[in-house]
Amino acid sequence: MEFLLDLASIWSESFQRDLFRYLLAATVLSLAVSLLFRRWMNRRRLQKRRANWKDIRREVSYSMLTIAIFATVGVITSILRSWGLIHLYWQWSDYPLWWNLLSLPAVLLLHDAYFYWAHRGMHHPRLFRHFHRVHHLSRTPTPWAAYSFSVGEGVLMAIFSPLVLMLMPLHVLVWLAFVFIMIFRNTMLHAGCEFHPKGWVDGPLDFMTTTTHHDLHHQRFRGNYGFYFTWWDRWMGTEFKDYKDVFRQAVDGEFSRQADGNRLENGDFSKI
């Protein structure tokens, strides 16, 4: 009985941590778009159509389910750690300086590769309805769509954590930095407005994805599968060829000035 109570406590703590990160990131991005930088963001909107409260309620509801899945996987991760299969360390001196410096970029690179192939795989016709359909109900996504997953997709996204923690030792602060980068990046990609400065896609950091990059995926359904970086899309030929042009139009405010504005007609949603 005590063992079950301990597991319930771990689950509750994990749920609360993930819920806090989700609410923090989605709230910050939502306030930035709709209040703090409203006029600037409205000029940089990627779609004329606006998500309504029904869309947001759906996104939040499925995100709560996803956070519950994350918490369950968190319990499994805790058990694996007690068995010595996962090593999160507190002392920087436990590992060389070079590893402490490189471990965060290494995790981000691994997560980006994992996300690209998992995401692309979920678009297979035999898998889409069971794994990824729920997320694509957000045709005009908001920051609250960051965790709007079905059970299958939630599990697939959650198991990256124990897998990578079994693969490599990480300092606790490195892991915390990763999970915060992940959720803030996720909410930004779903914000529906372009945050990046003009000229971003023509500069040295054009390998990093933008809100436009992911919003096009929601609009057109196939292509632009990457999360942090554009490398895999470019290597695999899955990046939309007009992505940079669409980005430039967004930062110039062209879509916000269009009379019809709704670019969803270009998407293929026949399988949703």
Domain ranges of the chain: 2-193
**Widest distance between CA atoms in the chain:** 63
Amino acid, single-letter form, for residue 15: F
Residues whose CB falls within 8 Å of the CB of residue 244, separated by 6 or more in sequence, listed in order: 201, 202, 206
What pLDDT does residue 254 have?
73
**What is the per-residue pLDDT for 258?**
61
Residues facing 229 on adjacent strands: 208
Its pTM stands at: 0.91
Give 272: exposed, middle or buried? Use CB within 10 Å, 0-12, 13-18, 19+.
Answer: middle
- Per residue of the chain (272 residues), give pLDDT as tens: 777 888 899 999 999 999 999 999 999 999 999 888 888 888 899 998 889 999 999 999 999 999 999 999 999 999 999 999 998 999 999 999 999 999 999 999 999 999 999 999 999 999 999 999 999 999 999 999 999 999 999 999 999 999 999 999 999 999 999 999 999 999 999 999 999 999 999 999 999 999 999 999 999 989 999 999 999 999 999 999 999 999 999 998 777 666 344 444 444 444 44
Residue 34: how many CA atoms within 13 Å on its side-chain side? 11
Residue 224 has φ and ψ, to the nearest 5°, of: 50, 60
Q: Token pair 């908001």 is at which residue?
A: 142
Select from 32, 4, 17 the least CA-distant residue to 211.
Answer: 32
CA 54 – CA 51 distance, rounded (Å): 8
CA distances from 208 to 108, 131, 174 (A): 12, 26, 20
Residues 263/216, Cβ–Cβ less than 8 Å? no
Runs of H (alpha helix) within 89-193: 97-122, 125-131, 133-136, 151-158, 160-167, 172-189
pLDDT of residue 256: 64
DSSP percent split of the chain into helix, strand, coil, nearest 5? 65, 5, 30
pLDDT for 244 equals 96
Q: Where are the beta strands (DSSP E) in the chain?
A: 88-89, 170-171
